[in-house]
Amino acid sequence: MSKFAFLVNSPPGNPGPVANNLEYARNLDEAGHDVVVYFDGQATQWIPEAEDDPDGVVHEYYQESKERGLIAGACGYCASFFEIDDSIEAAGIALDGGAVEGASGPGDHHGPDVAALVEQDYQLINVG
> Quick one: which of 106, 61, 59 has its CA closest to 79?
106
Looking at per-residue pLDDT, the higher value among 122 and 128 belongs to: 122
Q: Rounded to whole angstroms, how far apart are CA atoms 48 and 128?
A: 20
Tens digit of each residue's pLDDT (9 = 90 or more) over 24-67: 999 999 999 999 999 999 999 999 999 999 999 999 999 999 99
* Domain range list for the chain: 3-125
pLDDT attached to residue 105: 43
> Quick one: which of 68, 65, 27 has its CA closest to 46?
65
Superfamily of the domain at 3-125:
DsrEFH-like (3.40.1260.10)
CB 118 within 8 A of CB 1: no
pLDDT attached to residue 22: 97
Tens digit of each residue's pLDDT (9 = 90 or more) over 4-23: 999 999 999 999 999 999 99
pLDDT attached to residue 103: 42
- pLDDT grade, residue 98 (50/70/90)? low
Q: In angstroms, how far is CA 76 from the centroid of its own chain?
A: 11
- pLDDT grade, residue 112 (50/70/90)? confident
Rounded mean pLDDT, 63-87: 94
